[in-house]
A and B are shown apart, each in its own frame.
Chain A
Amino acid sequence: MATLNTQVTSEDHFQGAENGAATLVEYGDYECSHCGQAYGIVKRVQKHFGKGLRFVFRNFPLSQMHPHAESAAETAEFAGAHGKFWEMHDGLFENQQHLGGPLYSKLAQDLSLSPAGLQQALSEGMYKDRVRADFSSGVRSGVNGTPTFFINGKRHDGPFDYESLVQAIEEAIGGQKNAISA
């Protein structure tokens, strides 16, 4: 069973409590349609578990297949460096069909970030290393496509519909409780 090889740290982008009962890590690609589907599902899963679930997103752009995947990932990282990662993350997934320079500029503007600054960061590849580091950690952890989820460090090989994810997370939490009480 593949396990997460790079632990979640404060360097990661996460939502939910730092010491929640469960951690869900997604390796995703902003241009991947399956990740686009997963985006809405994860939101529902987060709602279901509330703060008890820590959700982490790491970049896994399949850039040979998806020409905008890398630039979208770097755009999200640019926003992240300015404290707006999740807002940009949401904007990118919600406009998945329109990825590209004009959308990035508009989203940056909407978030009161500098479109020119973003443009410069992209052309200089300022966040390339960060994206590559995510990608490498994914490869080393057994990410085998997008999206790939890890629940409490273990790769989730089942389907990622709402019910399956909720059940897998509940099992992970239950397993932990049993381990503690045993």
Chain B
Amino acid sequence: MAMENAKLHDYTAGTAVINGHAAPSELLPAGTEAPDFSLHVTPDQTLSLRELRGKPVILAFYPADWSPVCGDQMALYNEVLPEFQKFGAELLGVSVDGVWCHRAFAEARHLHFSLLADFEPKGAVAQSYGAYRRADGFSERALFVIDKSGIIAWSYRSPVAVNPGADGILQALEDLPE
């Protein structure tokens, strides 16, 4: 019983199950050190968060590749990329899709930024950011802006069905101290 109670309150582990219903996970808030990770960015290359120290990083967790609408979230960010780059920021898309899926998706949409495969163990990075939907088996639509020293400056979770756009990210980048 004590174990179960502990589990119920362990929000950091991702989606908590309360009375059998999945409660929204609690995102890591601003001020927290961003958990490091190392994920495949191509079939033979990995990327670690710590390699990007010294510049702001935008981590965009999203449920899955191949969303069926024109201008889905990743396609939108692809268009807004020059605006992100004005802040020297690096954009990383993260989903549980595998590297080959990401590659096909990135090619089809002409994406000019990296997609990371949070594939094995599935969703582990999303979980460490409190952005995993355990019941669904994919991540939240969750955004993090990490400052150049590796501290989360802003985080935001959008309802899974709602593309959050880019305005929050740009505002967070603008608010970063020089």
Chain A residues close to B by CB (< 8 Å): 2, 5, 29, 32-35, 62-65, 135-136, 139-146, 157
Contacts and interface: CB of A to CB of B under 8 A. Distances in A.
Contacts of B167: 2, 5, 139-142
A139 B71 contact: no
Nearest to B167: A142
Given A64-B109, A143-B165, A157-B162, A29 B71 contact: yes
A64 B70 contact: no
Contact of A32 (B70, B112, B165, B170): B70
Nearest to A3: B167
Interface in B94-137: 109-112
Contacts of A145: 69-72, 75-76, 163
B164 interface: yes
B52 interface: no
Contacts, number: 64
A65 B75 contact: yes
A139 B110 contact: no
B80 A139 contact: yes
B139 interface: no
A65 B81 CA distance: 14
Contact of A144 (B76, B109, B112): B76
Contacts of A157: 162
Contact of A139 (B112, B162, B163, B166): B166
A161 to B, nearest CB: 15
B79 interface: yes
Contacts of A146: 70-71
Interface range for B: 20 to 34
A49 to B, nearest CB: 26
B78 interface: yes
Interface string B67-98: 00111110110111001000000000000000
A144 B170 contact: no
Nearest to A141: B167
Nearest to B70: A32
Given A62-B70, A65-B109, A139-B170, A144 B164 contact: yes
A29 B70 contact: yes
B83 A144 contact: no
B83 A139 contact: yes
A157 B71 CA distance: 15
B69 A65 contact: no
A7 B164 CA distance: 21
A139 B112 CA distance: 18
Nearest to A36: B70
Contact of B165 (A33, A35, A63, A144): A144
Interface string B128-170: 0000000000000000000000000000000000111111001
